[in-house]
Chains A and B, each alone.
Chain A
Amino acid sequence: DTGVSQNPRHKITKRGQNVTFRCDPISEHNRLYWYRQTLGQGPEFLTYFQNEAQLEKSRLLSDRFSAERPKGSFSTLEIQRTEQGDSAMYLCASSYDPNSPLHFGNGTRLTVT
Chain B
Amino acid sequence: EDQVTQSPEALRLQEGESSSLNCSYTVSGLRGLFWYRQDPGKGPEFLFTLYSAGEEKEKERLKATLTKKESFLHITAPKPEDSATYLCAVQAWGNAGNMLTFGGGTRLMVKP
Contact = CB atoms under 8 A, between A and B. Distances in A.
Contacts of B96: 55-56
Interface in B26-79: 34, 36, 41-46, 49
B100 interface: yes
A95 B104 contact: no
B103 A42 contact: yes
Interface string A40-51: 111111001010
A22 interface: no
Given A33-B97, A95-B98, A104 B103 contact: no
B46 A31 contact: no
A43 B6 CA distance: 13
A105 B43 contact: yes
Contacts, number: 56
Contact of B46 (A48, A56, A103): A103
Contacts of A109: 41
A4 B87 contact: no
A24 B34 CA distance: 23
B97 A42 contact: no
18 contacts: A31-B97, A31-B98, A33-B99, A41-B104, A42-B4, A42-B6, A42-B102, A42-B103, A42-B105, A45-B99, A45-B101, A48-B99, A50-B97, A56-B96, A56-B99, A91-B43, A95-B98, A102-B46
Interface string A14-26: 0000000000000
A93 to B, nearest CB: 8
Contacts of B44: 43, 91, 104
Contacts of B97: 31, 33, 48, 50, 55-56
Nearest 10 A-B pairs (CB), nearest first? A42-B102, A104-B43, A48-B97, A56-B97, A101-B46, A106-B43, A45-B99, A104-B44, A98-B98, A42-B104
